[in-house]
Structure 1
Amino acid sequence: MSEINKADIVILIGDMNAQVGYHNKGFEATTGRHGLGMLTENGEMFTELCTNFNLVIGETLFNHKRVHKITWTSPDRMTETLIDHIAISRKWRGSLMDTRNKRGADIASDHHLLITPARLKVAAVSDSKKKIQKIFDVKKLKDESICAREIKNQLNFTKTRSAIGTTAHLQQNRQADKKKALERIIWSDNLARKAQEAAETYRTRDLYQMKRELTNATLKTTKPLKDEDGKLTTAKDKQTTIWERYYKKLLSSTSSEAIQRCGSQRHIPRRDNHTSCPNDAEIITAIRALRNNKTSGSDNINSELLKANPVSSTQIYLGVRKDKGRTERRCYYSSSKEGKFIGM
């Protein structure tokens, strides 16, 4: 292990037959506080090995149940301990996400499978070629003629570059305008073809709609309105003022016109109210139209009970009505379409 490059990631895995225990006093950089058992001689030697080569024992860093730490069970099932280890370089300690055993894995051994998921962050490889820094001749700055010539060249270069950029921008705008014009021509040709088909099939509604889209014409919905003097006006603000005055006058409490209009309306009684007592057929129809699983009324009679035998229910209702009709001849009943039996 002494010949391994220090920049490499070192991972030491195997059956070390060593118990490192849970006391890490003096070895805080090598072991954690979540080991198992007591420190043995082999465990001490393994801990010193990891300390010398800057390794960290992974299973002592994570807190798990005892059953998830055991890696070896004796044949008599009496001894259970942690003797298999996974160690990693101390520099890459943060790459370990967890370390525990998998007791369900069948590996045909008295050892349990020990796993540890790791997440490595590898740095991007930089270009090995070093950028050569340009060396400037500072002595030329002392010569005024050279400075003036360099500044003039730089200004000319800037103007040329801006002119090239403006020309490219104008060229892009021209291409975009040409593309829009071509799309407009294709759209109008397709719409004209559809209009021709609508005219041939006598679809005048579609024809006029396509015509309005082609000509971009809108219908004028503004109509003239008479003011109080009888003059016609089409201005929106004047029409709004005319309507406001009209409704204020119409809705005022002293308006004779509103009173006259309200008084001219006479009450028309409704003729769809059934006030007469229903006959046998109507009662049977209403009982059959009742819905199931509904709450009963004050008489605690469910609709299912009435629908079990509509004829008997009708006879019972007629008998009760005949007895009660001697004192009160009026009954109330809703339309048979709604299927609601109200009572007497």
Structure 2
Amino acid sequence: MVADINSKIGNDRRGYEDMMREFGLGERNERGQRKLEFCQGKPLCITNNYFYHREQHRYTWTHPDGIHKNCNDYILINKKWRTLVMGMKVMRGADFGTSHKLLLAKIRIKFRTDRGKNQELVRYNVDEVKAEEVKTALKVRVGGRLEPLTGLKTTEKKWCQGRNIIRQEAESILVGHSRTLFTTVHRLTRGWKNNGIALSDADGNKLSATGDVEKIWKTHYEEQLKGSVRRVTEDDYPELRGELWNIQEIPDILIEELKKAVGAMSSGKAPEINGIPKELLGADGEMVERWLCDLCNDIEDG
């Protein structure tokens, strides 16, 4: 809130310690008292008085005679945002045809990020995917809905619609929570325990402390990798000169390559932001594999 009501706040902060500080100018008048009462009821802070400046940098108004000067202009801010104001100063050099001076406030803005608090985390009982009847149901229902998406040209639309289809069908088929045994064991054990593994240093001493073990591994890898890491150049493979190094087009990703990549993923892990666990990608059938392969090739083609 920016205000110019010809009021004088002054530097007496008794009774208004939570609204202003002592870096004011002059004596308070009746309008200044009314402004303080107004700010107290909102509640607002007077930012002009929060930062120390020399007197010639505090006044915002100069009388035409050039002698009388005062602080009549203020920037007010809600108390809960007070810490966002980093500084306040008067722009004395700005000349725009008035007896008032410009006020400049430096404000730090904090942007809130959407952390997805309103999105409910859906847990699938992925153990049921091992059953043949569940696999068949997923293949039929997911595959039938994914087939029309293969003709979409927009990669983003193809991905969003396919992801939603897989999640919707999984929610309707896979009911309950997964990894019951792991949950029970974790609840009973209550955390990690040291297994007592020790390593030997260069002198043959057994060390088991965490810091000592880290140093041993660091020394080991530094010795193993010393002088062995360098950039591969064309001269290392003369038999491929003119072939490998002059490839103009990248071949499409094959379904077999995609299957191998999905198979290498760890099972029993929490899904990423897409909400699809690894077990569903391997159990939904050939249509899901084709859909994923098309997506990867579309992204690769740009």
- TM-score, shorter chain, exceeding 0.5: no
The TM-score bracket by the shorter chain reads: 0.3 to 0.5
Q: Which gives a bigger RCO, structure 1 or 2 (Cα 8 Å, sep 6+)?
A: 2
Greater gyration radius: 1
TM-score, normalised to structure 2's length? 0.41
TM-score, normalised to structure 1's length? 0.37
